C-alpha cells in the first residue's frame, strides 16, 4: 500500500510540472560569447505568417526552449523572451542561440520589430529591426543590438500585461551624445 501511495505522489508531482508555452524554437546554439551583431532573417508567407530567425541571442546554456510574449500592435511587433528549462534548471554559463519565431495573422505592411531579451539570462540586449513587407517578403538584416541595464522589472513587466520595461542604455546613442544637456 505504501509503495502505491508513493507511486501516485511521484506521478502527481510530475504532472504538476508543466513547461511554460513556447513562443519560438531554438534551432542552433554555440558556445561562444554573444557577437557584436545579430543577424535577423525574415520570410513572409502567403498564409500571412511572418517567420523571424534571430542569430546571436545570448541565453543560459541550459535553455531547452523559449517562452515569453509576442505582441503585434499596428506597425509594431514586440518579442520578449525567457528561457525554458528542464527539471535540472539553469547552468552557470551562457550560449549563443539561433531562435526562430512564426507569427501568424500578420498583415503585409511595414513594421518595427523589437526583440527584447532582458528577461533572459546573459547580456540584456534590445534588437530593433525595420521591415517593409510590401517591398520584400524575405531577406536578411545585420544589426548591432543596444545593450541595457535592467532598471525596474515590476511596473512595466509584459507578463503583467503592460507595454514596456524601463531600461537604461549602457552607452549613449549618437543622438543622445549630440543632444545638449537640459
pLDDT tens across 122-133, in order?
777 889 999 999
pLDDT value of position 180: 40
pLDDT value of position 18: 61
Q: How many structural domains comprise the chain?
A: 1
Whole-angstrom Cα distance, residue 163 to residue 79? 11
Q: Is residue 104 situated within a structural domain?
A: yes
Report the C-alpha dihedral over residues 82, 84, 90, 92, rounded to 10 degrees. -50
pLDDT value of position 75: 95
* pTM across the whole model: 0.74
**Integer CA distances (angstroms), 13 to 46, 86, 88, in order:** 44, 15, 15
Q: Is residue 8 situated within a structural domain?
A: no
pLDDT value of position 100: 97
Q: Is residue 135 situated within a structural domain?
A: yes
Whole-angstrom Cα distance, residue 51 to residue 35? 22
pLDDT value of position 179: 39
Q: Is residue 47 situated within a structural domain?
A: yes
- Stretches in the chain below the pLDDT threshold 50: 3-17, 151-157, 159-182
pLDDT value of position 32: 80
Q: Domain of 97?
A: 19-169
Q: Is residue 5 situated within a structural domain?
A: no
Whole-angstrom Cα distance, residue 163 to residue 160? 9
Q: Is residue 175 situated within a structural domain?
A: no
Rounded to an integer, what is the distance from CA 24 to the centroid of its chain? 8
Q: Is residue 177 situated within a structural domain?
A: no
Q: Is residue 6 situated within a structural domain?
A: no
Amino acid at each position: 500500500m505504501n509503495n502505491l501511495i508513493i507511486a501516485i505522489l511521484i506521478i502527481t508531482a510530475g504532472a504538476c510540472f508543466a513547461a511554460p508555452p513556447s513562443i519560438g524554437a531554438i534551432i542552433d546554439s554555440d558556445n561562444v560569447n554573444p557577437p557584436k551583431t545579430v543577424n535577423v532573417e525574415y520570410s513572409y508567407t502567403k498564409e500571412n505568417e511572418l517567420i523571424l530567425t534571430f542569430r546571436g541571442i545570448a541565453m543560459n546554456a541550459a535553455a531547452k526552449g523559449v517562452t515569453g510574449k509576442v505582441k503585434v500592435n499596428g506597425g509594431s511587433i514586440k518579442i520578449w523572451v525567457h528561457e525554458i528549462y528542464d527539471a535540472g534548471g539553469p547552468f552557470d554559463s551562457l550560449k549563443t542561440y539561433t531562435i526562430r519565431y512564426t507569427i501568424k495573422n500578420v498583415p503585409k505592411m511595414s513594421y518595427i520589430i523589437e526583440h527584447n531579451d532582458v528577461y533572459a539570462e546573459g547580456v540584456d540586449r534590445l534588437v530593433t529591426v525595420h521591415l517593409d513587407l510590401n517591398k520584400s517578403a524575405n531577406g536578411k538584416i545585420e544589426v548591432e543590438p543596444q545593450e541595457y541595464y535592467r532598471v525596474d522589472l515590476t511596473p512595466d513587466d509584459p507578463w503583467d500585461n503592460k507595454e514596456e520595461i524601463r531600461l537604461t542604455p549602457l552607452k549613449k546613442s549618437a543622438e543622445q551624445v549630440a543632444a545638449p544637456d537640459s
